[in-house]
Amino acid sequence: MVRPEMCAGVHSNQTKTEGTTGMSIQESIRLVDKGDYAIVEFDLIGEKVNKFSTPVMFRLKEVVEELRQSKYKAVIFRSLKEKIFIAGADIDEIKKMTKREDYMDAVTKAHEIFNALEDLNMVTIVAIHGACMGGGTEFSLACDYRISTLDKATKIGLPETQLGIIPGFGGCVRMPQKIGLPNALDIILAGKAVNSQKAKKMGLVDKTVPPESLMDIAEDMAKRAVKGEVKKSSRRYQGKSVKDKLLHSFLGRQVVFNQAKKALLKQTKGHYPAPMKALDVIRDTFALDDRERALLIESSGFCDVAVTDVSKNLINLFYLLEDVKKENGVEADVKGLDVKKIGVLGAGVMGGGIAYVAANKGFKVRMKDINNDAIAKGFKAARDIWNKKVKRKRMTENELEEKMSHISGGTDYAEFKEMQLVIEAIVEDMNIKKAVIGETAGQVTDDCVIATNTSSLSVTEMAKGHPKPENFVGMHFFNPVDKMPLVEVIRGEKTSDVATATVFETSKAMGKTPVVVKDGPGFLVNRLLFPYMTEGVFFLEEGMDIKVVDKYFTHKFGMPMGPFRLMDEVGLDVAHKVLKIFHESLGDRVEMPKTQEKLSATDRLGKKNKKGFYLYDEKDKHTDVDSTVYKDLGLDAPKSTGSSKECIERAIFQMINEAARVLYEDRIVEDPGKVDLAMIMGTGFPPFRGGLLRYADSLGSQYIVDQLDEYATRFGPRFKPCQALVNMAKNNKSFY
């Protein structure tokens, strides 16, 4: 999912560093005289990170010019921030730009500064400790040598494509020429960051050192440069092996670019223009010896994608994610419990997954279940996830065992008095949950927070099983737990701010993205998702082809799964059960397809028994549509492909309609941004569209209401636009 810490452009309407922030900017980049060499220190005053804002870039220009006119034989660039070298550009400035000429002016000025840095008549050394991202990496590539620490916080990369843009400070030109095409494409096209060891293997850094040795080794290199023992570095990549040289020959390059293009199209389905534009720029510049021409091609490519709606939507998503980092889940200035130990009730696949995500981030976890076989399954579920990392060489066997040591388990409540948080993940039965929650409350401290991982049952009702309902809250993980980033934090009627903040902050510490929602049928995500799946069954009844319909939603619209594949993934039995709950709680507007009961009467469960709308192999990969499903449901073979526009609108517009109810009628959430964040992180709603409600705004509320009215006339009351959406259309309002 999208977590860029990047750099791309500088605003250009300020021409000098003097002014209200002049002195602080001067102090933010300091030049320290060390005799025959210098040290330049980045420490942006008043900021947690170093970033390339317009004033900072102009100050950098001054420093580079001062170096050019100096007597120095070498210079070291370092950061005084604790875990940050340079995080990138000031994204606020990028967000405010709208015109192509503004972007072009910005990147052109940046190129001038970095070119002057590259052309300095001295050895330039970058001492990297912490995050070196986007423009920070591009800055380092304009220098001769890079030394990085082996600290886990040290990451080097170019994540611009995650914001819908491409490296614009020379990264598309300099990185391939420094580390070769395969490695550069791997980083740039995916918007990836790598650790120091991998960076060293690629040639992205020249030395890796312990953090405490960084400046000693950098200064030793500078002193050797003063003596003439270290020279300016070569700028052109030289293949080491025969295979490497073949890959970089004229014909080899064509093969590399063609394969990369095929892989991109398969991955993005053409919805994300930035990776393809980056590939085009690299292809057109790699063999050029004319730096100015190459950078002009990069600038033009940057502007092409920076002005797109895709980029704006991805930047908005970036800000939604940044907001979560600053929040505690409640309006009051309340601190949650300092959670160190977590209990997990239920050691099935879900419980094992929860244990994994907690232990993986350093929490001590104790699983409890009714028998040792269940505990063993929980251990296996966690170990299997880490084993995949070992197989991919992303961790060692020793590291796996160290992680596993954070998890213990048993059939009693041993150690539960030491827990600050207990997460219940047992069978979805209200009476059983109430009994277990009440029993657990007697085994923990008075202030321990108990959270339920329910996906559909009322948190308010369940809290009646707890003697202190203020200490009870929902904590809904999405399956598979190790991959899905969203956690819905569900407040019951009596849930306290402390309990909410505890689960919110713990979710973030687990590496998840929490969204606080009010208790209600399906909470937020499942409530918005049920029309999407249900409409699929209506498509089926109308004689549409399962595979074709799913492709409409994946290939044309950008969803990760069509409605049929999603039902298989969720479980056809679960989907049926949840739909009945919605029908009972929300009334006749939740229409039950006639085929739904027939479907629930079959032995089709979806992926979990390898038989649903699709068939599945031994690795749980779907193979093809199970053509016998039509006969089993008493339907004729598909005779219609339907209209892609109509299919997409029927499903997605119902979701928008429900979102308007959730926001303005039921107040499940208060902010359209939370709806969009939850839908992207919980369902994979296409990020390039900005989220469900940004997509709605791009169409206009009047168009959506008109189409819903038409579909209601043709297909029934499930399409009737809610009053909140009608009012929006009448007043020409949007969600944002």
Asked if 415 contacts 443 with a C-beta cutoff of 8 angstroms, the reply is no
* DSSP designation for 603: S
Q: How big is the CA angle at 251 (ends 248 and 256), to the nearest 5 degrees?
A: 60
Integer Cα distance of 369 and 351 in angstroms:
10
Provide the β-strand partners of residue 32. 39
Integer Cα distance of 92 and 315 in angstroms:
9
- Collapsing DSSP states into helix, strand and coil, what is residue 700? coil
For residue 191, give every residue at least 6 positions away whose Cβ sits within 8 Å of its Cβ, in sequence order, or none: 4, 6, 157, 158, 159, 160, 161, 162, 163, 275
- Characterize the bridge pairing of strands 29-33 and 37-42: antiparallel
**Exposed/middle/buried for residue 580 (C-beta within 10 Å: 0-12, 13-18, 19+):** middle
* DSSP designation for 640: B
Determine if the peptide bond prior to 638 is cis (ω within 30°): no
Nearest to 274 by CA among 180, 354, 161, 358: 161
Per residue, what are the HEC states of 4-21?
A: CCCCCCCCCCCCCCCCCC
What the block records as the tokens of 282 is: 């690299």
Q: Where are the alpha helices (DSSP H) in 191-272?
A: 196-202, 214-226, 242-247, 250-268
User: Backbone phi, then psi, for 589, in 5-degree steps?
Assistant: -65, -15
Active-site residue identified among 11, 111, 129, 476: 476
What the block records as the tokens of 211 is: 């953090």
**Exposed/middle/buried for residue 587 (C-beta within 10 Å: 0-12, 13-18, 19+):** exposed
Integer Cα distance of 312 and 96 in angstroms:
10
Integer Cα distance of 509 and 360 in angstroms:
10
Integer Cα distance of 328 and 326 in angstroms:
7
For residue 673, give every residue at least 6 positions away whose Cβ sits within 8 Å of its Cβ, in sequence order, or none: 320, 323, 691, 736
Integer Cα distance of 581 and 408 in angstroms:
36
Q: Is 476 a catalytic residue?
A: yes
What the block records as the tokens of 139 is: 């800055």
List, in sequence order, every beta strand (DSSP E) within 284-325: none
Asked if 614 contacts 624 with a C-beta cutoff of 8 angstroms, the reply is yes
Integer Cα distance of 536 and 161 in angstroms:
33
Integer Cα distance of 504 and 336 in angstroms:
8
Task: Give the residue numbers marked as catalytic.
Answer: 476
